[in-house]
Structure 1
Amino acid sequence: MEKILEARHIDKYFKKPNKFHVLKDINFFIEKGEFASIMGKSGCGKSTLLYILSTMDTDYSGELLIQNDLVTGRNSNELARIRNKHIGFVFQFHYLLPEFSVLENVMIPAKKLGEYSSEQIRENALKKLRNLGIEKLADKKAFNISGGEKQRVAIARALINDPLIIMGDEPTGNLDSYNSDKVFNEFRKLSSEQGLSLLVVTHDEDFAKNTDRIITMEDGKILNSN
């Protein structure tokens, strides 16, 4: 068993307007190739937890480990690099740059990382689009494609640096059931065929029940993670 991500005794307080204990002693881990979902009512701390796990929020107590390396306490430059190299993000809104082509959007995180030449990045981006069955969209402007296509482009962008884990925050929240199923199936393929780990916050029970494990949250605590 290889742990890709682990949270140990994570606590988080909001300080304003009043002190509020939003996450309470969170402990769990995600294994290599595991496809897990986080569920719970609005306000239970799901998205707050995801921002800590993604290293974007560092104001917490406890420990966060990625591939058994402690990342808690690292400086902002180190965290930015860890985030860009090891974590792919898919949000409810795609955050594509509308005037850029699909291919250019997918290439952005790899250019930021700067480990490969532009030509290598371009080839890799085309490969990611091909794997998702949307290579034909490569030269289209992002504003010119459908909502379902935009979300699949966002998945390709999340994959460009070959991350250890994909994190999703309501990635099917703006999609109809047909496109939600397509996104789910792409995630499932990434897990089963490529051994990629996925952790997705969702309100969609149909989506969650088909993942390997549902982590249920309530009032800032994990109730179960079966």
Structure 2
Amino acid sequence: MNTTAFEPHVLHTHKITKYFYEPDKFQVLKEIDLTVHKGEFLSLVGKSGCGKSTLMYVLSTMDTDYEGELEIAGVRLTDKTQNELAAFRNKHIGFVFQFHYLLPEFTTLQNVMIPALKLGKYSRKEVEDRAYAKLEMLGMKEHALKPTSKLSGGQQQRVAIARALINDPDIIMGDEPTGNLDSYNTHVVFDIFQELTHTYKQTIIAVTHDEEFARKSDRIVEMSDGHIVR
């Protein structure tokens, strides 16, 4: 997909700079300027230690110890309080990690419902209906009432994606979302991400070491020594 000029941007940074101070002062991010457009599937790549995971944590608003500015969905997030950021994340950002972090004693449906119940925007019945709809989109509706501990690794990751989608976030952020999957399920997750962006205009930013995964995404942003190099 070619992101055209008229697509609105959903994320923008200006000169994001970050230091680590242990054991010595070290600049890990160096004036990062990045714009991500609605419906774009972006892979963030680079060698270990290049700063990509650090940048992801800043973009996700979970790391606030940086210089520069971060804007998501038209909201300037720099200098917001932790409570304001937590509320913003729940509404505007969905997360898919290398490990699914599902609650094993809960059903698939209950796991997907959690962020929407926390949001408090919909009735419980509406949340349940939304959860069923997301599970159906991901081919997991028939497993809705199973404990997640009874699902395969690939199925659990699809449930994690459904959970990330439940509040219709502006961005899904993935931290090595296929890093714990075999090649078959890696392709399944990639196809899901591609459909989400191309069909539903969902914006996705994923940190990955998987070269094939990155190559098939809409745009690769490569980092080296704290800089974006392409």
The answer as to 2:63 corresponding to 1:63 is no
Q: Distance in 1 between matches of 2:210 and 2:80?
A: 34
Deviations along 1:139-159, one digit per CA (max 9) or x if unpaired, are 110111000000000000000
Q: How many equivalent residue pairs?
A: 224
The one of 150, 173, 195 aligned to 2:156: 150
**1:121-180 CA distance string (max 9 Å, x none):** 000000000011110110110111000000000000000000011000000001011000
Deviation of 1:78 after TM superposition, in Å, equals 1.0
The structure 1 residue matched to 2:92, chosen from 86, 92, 98, is: 86
- AA partner of residue 167 (structure 1): M
* TM alignment of 1:58-207, pairs within 5 A: 58-207=64-213
Q: What is the RMSD computed on CA atoms of the aligned residues?
A: 0.6
Q: Displacement of 1:18 after TM fit?
A: 1.2
CA distance in 1, matches of 2:118, 2:23: 36
Asked if 1:215 is matched to 2:221, the reply is yes
Structure 1 residue 68, shift from structure 2 partner: 2.6
* Residue 15 (structure 1) shift: 1.3
Q: Does 1:33 align with 2:39?
A: yes
Distance 1:144 1:7 in 2: 41
Letter in structure 2 aligned against 1:124: R
1:24 to 27, 30, 52: 30
Give, in whole Å, the separation in 1 of the partners of 2:156 and 2:13.
Answer: 31
| Alpha-carbon distance in 2 for matches of 1:84, 1:43 | 28
When normalised by structure 2's length, the TM-score is: 0.96
SS in 2 for 1:80: helix
Question: Once the two structures are aligned, what percentage of the paired residues are identical?
Answer: 58
Question: Equivalents in 1 of 2:211, 2:56: separation in Å?
Answer: 18
Residue matched to 2:53: 47
For the residues of structure 2 that align with 1:133 and 1:143, how far apart are their CA atoms? 18
Give 4+ residue runs of structure 1 displaced > 4 Å after superposition: none
Q: Which runs of 5+ in 1 are unaligned?
A: none
Distance in 2 separating the partners of 1:220 and 1:208 = 19
Q: Name the stretch that deviates more: 63-72 or 202-211.
A: 63-72
Q: Secondary structure at the match of 1:6?
A: strand
Instruction: Output one character per residue of 1:168-210: Cα deviation in whole Å (capped at 9) or x when no partner.
Output: 0000001011000000000001001111110000000000000
Partner SS for 2:18: strand
Deviation at 1:67? Answer: 2.0
Distance (whole Å) between structure 2 residues aligned to residue 83 and residue 121 of structure 1:
18
Provide Cα deviations, 1:25-44, integer angstroms capped at 9, x if missing partner: 10111000000100000111
| Partner amino acid, structure 2, of 1:140 | K
Which structure 2 segments of 5+ residues have no match?
1-6
Equivalent-residue separation in structure 1 for 2:203 and 2:60 (angstroms): 13
What letter matches 1:68 in structure 2? G
Displacement of 1:84 after TM fit?
A: 0.5
Taking the aligned partners of 2:74 and 2:178, their CA distance within structure 1 comes to 30
